[in-house]
Amino acid sequence: MKENLIAGYLPVILYMIVCVVLTFALAIISQILGRKNPNSEKNATYECGMVPFKDARLRFDVRFYLVAMLFLLFDIEVVFLYPWAVVLGKFNPVIFGLIEMILFMAILLFGYIYIWRKGALDWR
């Protein structure tokens, strides 16, 4: 029984071994055969083709993180729209599903208007 189990997993184990060996072999070969010609141009920091003008480890403004979190919050809402659309026809009265989604969107719209009025989206 045990030999049968191992024989079933043998191709997978062999594939994993080949992948690990090949990964390390290619990395070592590229280190040995690759050209090493460092200069100041190649070692310079690259920022979208622009010359860096400050240190990359500066602190970000809190508003940046706030906008990022708000984007995630309002972007995740779209994830809930797809399953709702799939099961909309399965609601006994379909109007119940529509009212449910209208209520959900109204809450999100209220939240969006609230953060807009509070100035969370302003960069001034």
pTM higher than 0.75: no
Q: Both tokens of residue 103?
A: 């209520």
Question: Tokens 């043998």 sit at which residue?
Answer: 10
- C-alpha count within 13 angstroms, C-beta hemisphere, residue 93: 4
pLDDT digits (tens, 9 = 90+) for 1-32: 567 777 888 899 999 999 999 999 999 999 99
- In 3D space, the residue among 115, 107, 98, 122 whose CA is nearest the CA of residue 77 turns out to be 107
Per-residue confidence (pLDDT) for residue 97, from 0 to 100? 86
Q: Both tokens of residue 81?
A: 């729209």
How many residues does this entry show for the chain? 124
pLDDT digits (tens, 9 = 90+) for 82-101: 888 888 888 888 888 889 88
- Give me the amino acid identity at 117: R
